[in-house]
Structure 1
């Protein structure tokens, strides 16, 4: 045996010294201290002696185990083949190499020093009490244990294992084909765990109730049923990948977790890459009742049926992506969730990117069951694709919940829902936070930004910006369910119909509320620049539909069969290349109800600058049609069907070529009550109202200061109207003609634009109070004097106090 560093006290007597030398030579007493061994033969021997200059690896480990000290074993270049069969013993005499003490094993590099188990057992077994074991510069290969046994290359039970510049390859086990860690720790700081196989879990590495750190090394081309590269199990198990050079790549799981499977433990990717792994579910990472954190690393180019990059599974599974440098990119799911699939757990994207992933549904992220939750507070879901005519390029929400609170969903592509697709009735999507953006996404069919098949969408802040749909709904398409815009913006989107929003089915609702909510600057190549309602309902309780363009009809809103209701807000500055600059009603079941709010400054190159009523019906009570323009007829209204105006103001509207600055009537009936029609302009005919056909009935209304005439065609009076000229054929009881109504300029009063009556106006108390009309346009009670006033404004009652003289 060679024993380096052996010391004998110089002060011993000669007899004692000779006696000790005789005992050592006889081999009956082992050295009391042996810090270092050099292996001199590649032959597998177990005589437990290195004294004859013939020291095998097995002998060196047996001697080191007996020392109880921190020993070092050095191996020269060569292939060390284990040949002494006999598994399931822990004394290192047969089968694997059992280590029970602190040990450093040093080879000459993994290409030069190879330890080959030759299939008789695993290579190394680190038993409880081994403390720290460092293995450096070797290859560990061809270990093999049974299909229900753990650790093909290395089994580490409660020791601290450090692998440096070491290759663990071509080993086979039931669990942990390359390395199995139970209750201990393992650190791979360089080298590889490569081409190992586990019949069950953890092809490269299995961590059970222990800790493993990949810091610069590689776990590549391993295979297992679950966790092709790494399997992390039990609540105290922790796996950490750190360092830019660390890689988990090209591993395969026949079921779940091609790269990493985390079950009830924790995994942190703090650097490096999980790349090009394959599984049925979770090509890169599969999380089951566990927590995984991506904090600076990358999950890249992995493949699965569901969850190409990450699969967040059952129960309390949590996935958190943070740090701007982290990325889930270039992954592929043949079915759902190219980047991330959230089945029941929770995924939080608090930084980093989910980019350039591909799946049939949910190119970036797929949110599956009702208990599944996706929260994005920062970072970007960008450049993802739903392939093969699939839906949800960025995010697909099947039954669960998704919240965008500060991040970006940009430049994704799908058939429907380029940015986001909301599928079932229990699915919800919420966008909030001023920094949240859904932008530049593309749908080859419907819903460039967001497509809502069913469920509920709430846009309480942020922007849906610059998205494109080849057919319907550039920003948002609502098939069924309810979408609410409450403070958010749908801006600069493009589609064939419904540049901003498209409402499809009769059970679909779009509600716009909140002063800050805007549908603006959108473009339709055909109809409905801002909003298109095929069926269903659109309600504007606040905010604006502003500055949109339709290359045909309905610059602001186009209603085919649907219902449009304004309870406030504005439809303004929209343009129709043909007709209906603000609103266009197309068919019999289409309705417009304006209970307050404004339709203002819209333009139609042909007819109906403010509103065009082709079929259907329009009712306005308390609304304002202000400063709209038509190239031909009907600056404010163009009506071929039923129209009712009560307590409303038509002012400042105009036509450039033809008649009907305020209103152009082709059909009807048209009923105008307690309305003020003033200061409208036409190129010819009636500047206020022009009747070509149908019936126009006027009652308790003011028509004045219109140019070139207040009326054109025959108007029917129901009495108590006031005109400043005599062009409207007002001959019924209570009508007043050729009399100035004494109107003030258009003024904002109680949130509405109106022409107030001046003191002494002949309209004061000159009307008749009509049952059901209890207030004026502003909501002020009628009457305030002896009778109701004519027009939209009720003049305040004057109270005259008696003059009292005192001595």
Structure 2
């Protein structure tokens, strides 16, 4: 059974193909003949300085820059392109001569190309005194194309490597290393109303498309994006640091579509959102990204999403760490139109909610994820605290570890949240399958809760701190082989079962392991009134008037009516 991906993520591959066609090296035009060349000695009729050639050139000129180091600051001209011999050969060095970028672009458009160079030495070299916007490259109200370029060792207030405002540039294979920003965007800072394309069309060849070892005093160690429409694909965002939010990527106040696909976001660190922090980004399309080994001091080791909407699908959140909440990812502050679907959330660590943490009115749809082998003190799989009407469907939560002595919630803990927990498989966790407390109107239906070290489902309350939940629904669940019994603090639900669900039960792939065998006794015993339309594989539920318990649907062929066929002649 194959997962049905939504169309926008499939289109990501088509977008990459288009970029490959569009982002070709500059075409040498009729204006290229001498003297449109630069070399360090100014020999052979060439210029000795790049800026001299730019000043003399007219639109349509491509200036060939020979191997060497050119210590100067450039102001690009509309329609005049610079073509170096590759970033290992041609260097433009600002000399750290003052608070100014090495390359400045204003009011230049799509015919202007910068390619094949190493840009460095922008700003003063000391972050605190680099008061300008943009260290290596600054782009204002422009739409240039920059390809096969390295920005390295620059300092600025915002955009240590590259600063972009109200522009629509295209970047392909533009790497940013060891840049520093006082405030935001150690590698890249991009804001305003532009349409930005930032890709590596080689898809991980060599060091292409890498953002590594950049730092930001505030947010966005690797990159900070605000307000833009963007396509960001094929990048490797590694080892970046932010003192605030978004060690790898910060995305804020983005009302337009941001497609973020096929990226690797690894080993970044921040206070919140070690890999990624998104705030008020309302048209997200995040798919096929690897988010691995990032660290947050507080919340969202892999990623944190706040007041955001869109689709987070088919990503890998692995081995991330949060000091407090949400080792894999954290969602807070509303986000009712955010869908977190089909992700693999594995081996993450946090104090609370190691796999997924939901808080402060957060109300996303958590659907069809594989949430396994995560470790926390409490709520190893999913933790909810004062969240909104969260919908949790079709997930497999298995082999998660609640490491405290009490083993509180190896699967799901619901605290003060009216969650809908429907058709999940919660099995073989170290800790209770599901705990809920002070969770008025919570619904727990059609789940398989099996083999957990603790209770199957526990309703917790005490006489001092936690009042009983007065209104809740717990029914149509299959509960068995939990070490402390089926229930605590509640009676068995209507139509609950205590039978072996007959998992496939073979192999190391936990997703396949917890699918149901065709003869499973829970294949037709769920509640159709509560069931979602599809299961975790994208297979339709409620066939033949019945529905399975757990994340996997065993399809029952509907009866078909055949009308009489009258053959004539």
TM-score, with length taken from structure 2: 0.78
Matches within 5 A, 1:204-223: none
Q: Distance in 2 between matches of 1:528 and 1:749?
A: 26
Could you tell me whether the CA contact under 8 Å between 2:138 and 2:164 is conserved in 1? yes
Alpha-carbon shift at residue 760 of structure 1 (Å): 7.0
CA contact (8 A) 2:37 2:53 kept: no
TM-aligned CA distance change 1:690 to 1:471, over 3 Å: same
Change (3 A) 1:423 1:526: same
State the SS of the aligned residue for 2:378.
coil
> Partner residue of 1:380?
150
**Which among 187, 193, 204 is matched to residue 419 of structure 1?**
187
1:782 deviation in Å?
4.5
Contact 1:238 1:265 in 2 (8 A): no
| 1:391 alignment partner, one of 158, 170, 174 | 158
CA distance in 2, matches of 1:675, 1:565: 20
Q: Counterparts in 2 of 1:131-280, with a 5 A limit?
A: 238=35, 240-242=37-39, 260=52, 262-263=54-55, 265=57
- Classify the secondary structure of the residue corresponding to 1:361: coil
Per the alignment, residue 178 of structure 1 pairs with none
Is 1:291 matched up with 2:62?
yes
Matches within 5 A, 1:259-408: 260=52, 262-263=54-55, 265=57, 290-300=61-71, 302=72, 309-314=73-78, 316-323=79-86, 324-331=88-95, 337-341=101-105, 343-345=107-109, 348-358=113-123, 360-370=132-142, 372-377=143-148, 379-386=149-156, 390-408=157-175
Q: Which has the higher strand share?
A: 1
2:219 alignment counterpart: 446
**2:481 pairs with one of 701, 705, 709:** 705
Deviates more, 1:784-793 or 1:321-330: 784-793
Structure 2 match to 1:45: none
| RMSD of aligned residue pairs (Cα, Å) | 3.4
Correspondence for 1:129:
none
Q: Could you say what secondary structure the match of 1:722 adopts?
A: coil
Greater RCO (Cα-Cα under 8 Å, separation 6 or more): 2
Say yes or no: does 1:565 pair with 2:357. Answer: no
Residue 292 of structure 1 and its aligned partner are, at CA, apart by 2.5
Displacement of 1:361 after TM fit? 1.1
TM-score, scaled relative to structure 1: 0.56
* Match of residue 462 from structure 1: 235
CA distance in 1, matches of 2:319, 2:374: 8
After superposition, the C-alpha distances for 1:129-174 in whole angstroms (9 at most, x for unaligned) are xxxxxxxxxxxxxxxxxxxxxxxxxxxxxxxxxxxxxxxxxxxxxx
- Contact 1:757–1:793 (Cα < 8 Å) also in 2: no
Q: How far off is 1:395 after superposition?
A: 0.7
C-alpha distance in 1 between matches for 2:399 and 2:357:
17
Q: Is the 8 A contact 2:456 2:479 kept in 1?
A: no
Please say which of residues 540-549 and 559-568 is displaced more in the overlay.
Answer: 559-568
Gapped regions of structure 1 (runs ≥ 5): 1-233, 252-256, 267-287, 303-308, 656-660, 725-739, 801-807
Rounded to whole Å, the distance in 2 between the matches of 1:399 and 1:790 is: 51
The correspondence for 1:643, drawn from 395, 400, 419, is 419
SS of the residue corresponding to residue 472 of structure 1 reads: coil
Task: Say if 1:416 and 1:742 are closer, same or farther in 2 by CA, change over 3 A.
Answer: closer
More divergent stretch after superposition (403-412 vs 747-756) = 747-756
Q: Name the residue aligned to 2:294.
A: 522
Q: Distance in 2 between matches of 1:788 and 1:772?
A: 7
Q: Retained in 1: the 8 A contact 2:38–2:64?
A: no
SS state of the match for residue 262, structure 1?
Answer: helix
Q: Give how far 1:350 is off.
A: 3.8
Partner of 2:286: 512
Q: Please state how far the C-alpha of 1:631 moved relative to its aligned partner.
A: 2.1
What is the DSSP-based 3-state SS (H/G/I as helix, E as strand, rest coil) of the residue aligned with 2:70? strand
Deviations, residues 191-220 of structure 1 (Å, cap 9, x unaligned): xxxxxxxxxxxxxxxxxxxxxxxxxxxxxx
Alpha-carbon distance in 2 for matches of 1:607, 1:783: 35
Matched, 1:556 2:328: yes
After TM superposition, give the deviation of residue 795 of structure 1 in Å.
Answer: 4.1
